[in-house]
């Protein structure tokens, strides 16, 4: 019974978020227009998608303690394989997405099987090498299948009508919300399995986990594959929400941003990864819009110059959070709640 009670806040939040497309309310400064307007729905869909992708990265980093610099590879694989399957093979979206997930999982088995032969920083470097190789391939556009620097658009003729057009932004929002819910449930289920317990043991002390009888290599490989599968699913949703694949998904910068999201929210926490991914993406988008607005002209010179640099503002906020809340925003929230209970 207690487990069901603990799930009530998440269920209530899910219902609330699902209702947003019916909310014709304006939140000046927070969202571009009405909550259920196309611009707001698109922004929230992107934020939710990145929240789910951050949760997929947390499976490797937060729950297993593996520092991977190549998670972008799996997100990009899900996105690009979907676009290529539709454009080159003429597959409808569901079949192209299935192809992308199978391909991403197979890729994770290969990359994980090789990279996990080493540990520590060497593992991070091997995963980075794989991701960089994929980035080079995408940019060189072999056979004109990836689109190079321009990216690859989804074939609109093979897309469901409900996911196309400005007026159908709420449906893309619901798709992103469904992705977060699926990722959340998958990670929650994984954490209760023997594999999940093995991952936690590896994170705490790999040598002790081996002594206790856990198959360390198998646990880490499962973490890489599950994270890749969820990341690939996020790549599919990302392609649908944005209408195509972007080479930025293949870069090390993208993986580093996922690392920042997870640390910002709280590594090893489902709430933390989702919150960190959502807030980071939202802040990045709104700060970019703010940097190009005329509002900055009315501010003092120094303040206006600072706010015109989104990465500087995000970096400063990240440093402050890490300094005052090393366990992330969720860890800070837990400490505040415990203090209130004691008082």
The per-residue pLDDT for 101 is 97
Unique residue bearing structure tokens 């190549």: 70
Average pLDDT rounded to a whole number, residues 101-121 = 94
In CATH, 12-288 is 1.10.3470: yes
How much of the chain is in helix, strand and coil states, percent to nearest 5? 80, 0, 20
CA 128/CA 19 separation, integer angstroms: 40
- Put simply, whether the predicted model's pTM sits higher than 0.75 gets the answer yes
Average per-residue pLDDT in the chain? 87
Cβ 78 vs Cβ 232: under 8 Å: yes
Count helices and strands in the chain by DSSP H and E runs: 14, 2
pLDDT digits (tens, 9 = 90+) for 292-313: 555 555 556 555 566 666 677 7
**Domain ranges, ordered by start, for the chain:** 12-288, 301-343
Q: What is the pLDDT of residue 84?
A: 94
**Structure-model confidence comparison of residues 295 and 68, the more confident one:** 68
Alpha-carbon separation of residue 293 from 85, 304, 307, 339 (angstroms): 39, 11, 11, 41
Q: How far apart are CA 40 and CA 286, in angstroms?
A: 11
Per DSSP, the residues of 124-159 read HHHHHHHHHHHHHHHHH-GGG-S-GGG-EE--GGGS
């Amino acid at each position: 019974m207690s487990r069901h009670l603990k799930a009530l806040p998440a269920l209530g939040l899910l219902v609330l978020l699902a209702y947003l497309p019916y909310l014709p309310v304006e939140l000046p400064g927070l969202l571009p227009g009405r909550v259920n307007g196309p611009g707001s729905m698109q922004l929230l869909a992107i934020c939710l998608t990145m929240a789910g992708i951050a949760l997929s990265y947390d499976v490797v980093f937060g729950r297993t303690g593996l520092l991977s610099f190549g998670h972008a590879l799996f997100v990009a694989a899900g996105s690009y394989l979907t676009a290529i399957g539709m454009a080159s093979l003429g597959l409808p979206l569901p079949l192209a997405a299935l192809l992308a997930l199978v391909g991403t999982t197979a890729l994770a088995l290969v990359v994980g099987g090789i990279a996990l032969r080493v540990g520590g920083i060497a593992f991070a470097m091997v995963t980075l090498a794989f991701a960089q190789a994929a980035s080079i391939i995408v940019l060189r556009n072999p056979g004109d299948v990836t689109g190079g620097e321009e990216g690859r658009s989804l074939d609109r003729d093979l897309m469901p009508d409900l996911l196309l057009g400005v007026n159908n932004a709420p449906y893309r929002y619901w798709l992103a919300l469904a992705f977060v819910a699926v990722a959340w449930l998958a990670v929650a289920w994984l954490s209760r399995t023997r594999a999940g317990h093995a991952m936690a043991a590896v994170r705490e002390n790999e040598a002790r986990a081996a002594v206790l009888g856990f198959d360390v290599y198998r646990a880490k490989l499962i973490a890489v594959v599950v994270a890749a599968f969820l990341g690939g699913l996020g790549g599919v949703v990302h392609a649908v929400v944005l209408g195509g694949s972007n080479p930025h998904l293949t870069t090390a910068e993208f993986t580093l941003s996922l690392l920042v999201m997870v640390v910002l929210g709280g590594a090893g926490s489902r709430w933390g990864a989702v919150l960190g991914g959502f807030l980071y993406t939202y802040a990045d988008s709104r700060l970019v819009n703010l940097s190009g607005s005329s509002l900055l002209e009315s501010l003092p010179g120094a303040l206006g110059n600072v706010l015109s640099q989104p990465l500087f503002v995000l970096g400063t906020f990240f440093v402050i959070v890490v300094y005052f809340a090393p366990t992330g925003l969720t860890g800070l929230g837990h400490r505040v709640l415990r203090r209130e209970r004691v008082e």
